[in-house]
Structure 1
Amino acid sequence: MRLVTYSERGRTSVGVLEAGWILDIPQAYTELLRQQGVADAAGRALAECPPDVVLLLARDGLGRAREAVAFAREALARDREGALQRGLAVAADAPGVRLRAPLQRPGKIICLGLNYADHARETNSPIPQYPELFNKFANALIGPGEPIVLPRVSQQVDYEAELAVVIGKPGRYIDEQRALEHVAGYTVLNDVSMRDFQFRGRQWMQGKTFDRSTPLGPWIVTAEEIPDPQALDISCEVSGEVLQRSNTREMIFSVAAVVAYISQIMTLEPGDLIATGTPAGVGFAREPKRLLQPGDVVRVTIERIGTLENPVIAEE
């Protein structure tokens, strides 16, 4: 499934994108419960399939979401106009429909630095013996099509194409061999970095979590559709020029290893987001440097997931 968070006419909900339609999970689950004769179907649907991906995962709602999507799919095939009027589906390209960051407020955003050997080499950094971790916060997240805002206090804003992992099952001291069982799905993240702030000290966070700086999306592809996250082409294009091109097999620490390692430090919870690092080709390591400018358009593409595209603007 392609899980999306979308807005329409002032409301925000969660759905699955299929063949140009967004099948609305909470509304479809409400109708399914009504058909089954459940009392207070709307209240129970709100509790079991809430219109927020983090809450949906926290309430172990993916199985119910699949039931709701199957119900909406069948209703759409049987009576399209009726399904649309009942709010079971909406055209993805309808006026006023907009995809948002698929996770709105994840409990944790944990990021890896230097997780591709070629990127470590281009930055003259040693290959890490353990995952290099830093964090972001939800204030940084934006969705597909939303502008990356260049803050007026930074003149060195860089792009970083990354595979992001969404946790679906809680765990502490997770065994690496079973770590992928804790993954709900995968999405695309652009770890936009303010290099002049990042390198002011030994900790990177201050250059990594500026407001409205980190594109995420356009959707979450659920884990059963990506059985091997270490076999995905990844690339970044800025204003038509391909600047990063690699494959996730080049990661130093695999997704499974990263999930297991982080779980030694903290309990991973549904909806937590892990960004797995970027390959070589970043702007500040190039000669001449290629840093983001107003008017640029950044496209990050990961095989089997999709493309995340965002324009770049200056802060007013």
Structure 2
Amino acid sequence: MKLARLGPLGAEVPVVERDGRWVDARPVTADFGPTFFADNGLQRLAAALSDLPDVDRPAGERVGAPIARPGAVVCIGMNYAAHAAESGAAPPAQPVVFLKVPNTVGGPFDEVAIPRGSNKTDWEVELGVVVGRTASYLSSPQEALAHVAGYVTVNDLSERAFQLEVSGGQWSKGKCCAGFTPVGPWFVTADCVDAAGLTLRSWVNGEPRQESSTADMIFDVATLVHDLSQYLVLEPGDLILTGTPQGVALSGRFPYLRAGDHVEVEVEGLGRSRQHFV
């Protein structure tokens, strides 16, 4: 299934695709948030799909993040060897983990403000993983995949000076600025996605920047979910960002973002988003 949320910020309507059209999911759930995923929401939605009413939404209506505010946004750093190299680091032997605050999550076409004092705002196309079941101390990577609800396109925006120069030794200062996690445009359930070989791309002002494949991940989705479960409890609706490939401004090959720029990011089968920077 393909899920989305349409409408003004804070008043999004959950919808699901049926025969190429969006239909109203509210007879099943008020929203696609943590409670929905925890309460077998995807199974209930699939069972009710044929009976859901059409939704008549105005053209140009805002598209929200396809999942409501997650309880946690857990991120993996340097999960593509070429990106680690352009960052001046060796590929990690273990997954590098950091956190973003949930209020950074925004819609796929929302404007993003360059942070006050920023000179190094950067883009990062990423495959996002949405947790479907509580995961703690999982026994194997094979078991981990049963805890994945589905996947989304994410732009893991970063402010590199905040992240690396005034960080105090951690990355969160450069990751938690307002609007720094655009998600969507839609969520696709895990049964419809082979996450092992998806193409990722990004563009800045229409010019290509990143192009790679999830096949180039150092740690694949199953390994990441299993590993994270050894150190923290993943809950339904949580969002995992799985890392970005090479081609970001941190490489020194491209300028950082400025007001007036626009960025597009795309993960194969999960849609393309576009953010205008102000």
TM-score, structure 2 normalization = 0.94
CA distance in 2, matches of 1:129, 1:205: 21
Q: Are residue 153 (structure 1) and residue 135 (structure 2) matched?
A: no
Deviation for aligned residue 1:20: 5.6
AA aligned to 2:192 is E
Q: Is the 8 A contact 1:21 1:91 kept in 2?
A: no
Change (3 A) 1:117 1:166: same
Q: Which residue of 1 aligns with 2:240?
A: 274
* 2:178 alignment counterpart: 211
2:219 is matched with 253
Q: Shift of residue 273 of structure 1? A: 0.5
Q: Is the 8 A contact 2:18 2:49 kept in 1?
A: no
Alignment partner, residue 41 of structure 1: none
User: Which ranges in structure 1 are unaligned for 5 or more consecutive residues?
Assistant: 30-48, 73-87
Distance 1:137 1:177 in 2: 29
| Correspondences of 1:160-199 after superposition (within 5 Å) | 160-174=124-138, 175-199=140-164
Which of 288, 294, 300 is the equivalent residue of 2:265?
A: 300
- Give 1:242 shift: 0.6
- 1:123-157 deviation digits (Å, cap 9, x = unpaired): 11011111000000122111021012101221110
Equivalence for 1:101: 65
Give the counterpart letter for 1:305 in structure 2.
L
1:229-261 Cα offsets, whole Å, 9 max, x none, are 111000101111010000000000000000000
Identify unmatched segments of 5+ residues in structure 2. none
Q: Secondary structure at the match of 1:97?
A: coil
Percent sequence identity over aligned pairs: 39
- Mapped to 2, the partners of 1:116 and 1:162 lie a distance apart of 11
Task: Tell me the TM-score normalized by structure 1.
Answer: 0.83
> For the aligned residues, what is the CA RMSD?
1.7
User: Counterpart amino acid of 2:4?
Assistant: V
2:247 is paired with a residue of what secondary structure? coil
* Corresponding position: 1:65 with 2:45: yes
Partner residue of 2:190?
A: 223
- Please tell me whether the aligned partners of residues 236 and 300 of structure 1 are also in contact (alpha carbons under 8 angstroms): yes
Mapped partners of 2:61, 2:46: distance in 1? 22
Cα distance in 2, alignment partners of residues 102 and 130 from structure 1: 30
- Secondary structure of the residue aligned to 2:26 is helix
Deviations 1:75-100 (A, max 9, x none): xxxxxxxxxxxxx22245x2473210
If you compute each CA radius of gyration, which structure gives the higher value, 1 or 2? 1
What is the CA-CA distance between 1:309 and the residue it aligns to?
1.3
Q: Is the 8 A contact 2:98 2:171 kept in 1?
A: yes
Alignment partners' CA distance in 2, 1:205 and 1:9: 25
Quote the offset at 1:8 in angstroms: 6.3
Shift in alpha-carbon separation, 1:213–1:10, aligned structure 2, 3 A: closer
1:132–1:95 Cα change, 3 Å: same
Q: Structure 2: how far apart are the matches of 1:52 and 1:304?
A: 20
The CA distance in 2 between the partners of 1:273 and 1:11, in whole Å, is 21
Identify the residue that residue 15 of structure 2 maps to in structure 1. Answer: 15
- Report how many aligned residue pairs link the two structures: 275
Q: Which has the higher helix share?
A: 1
Query: Contact 1:9/1:96 (CA < 8 Å) preserved in 2?
Result: no
* Alpha carbons 2:31, 2:68 under 8 Å: kept: no
Q: Is the 8 A contact 2:136 2:234 kept in 1?
A: yes
Q: Secondary structure at the match of 1:304?
A: coil
1:9 CA displacement: 11
Shift of 1:311: 1.1
Indicate how the Cα distance of structure 1 residues 128 and 144 shifts in structure 2: closer, same or farther if over 3 A, else same: same
What is the one-letter code of the residue matched to 1:173? Y
Contact 1:104 1:138 in 2 (8 A): no
**What code does the residue aligned with 1:295 have?**
G
Q: Secondary structure at the match of 1:148?
A: coil
Residues in 2 aligned to 1:192 and 1:58: alpha-carbon distance in whole angstroms: 28
Rounded Cα–Cα distance in structure 1 between residues aligned with 2:19 and 2:259: 34
**Contact 2:79-2:242 at 8 Å conserved across structures:** yes
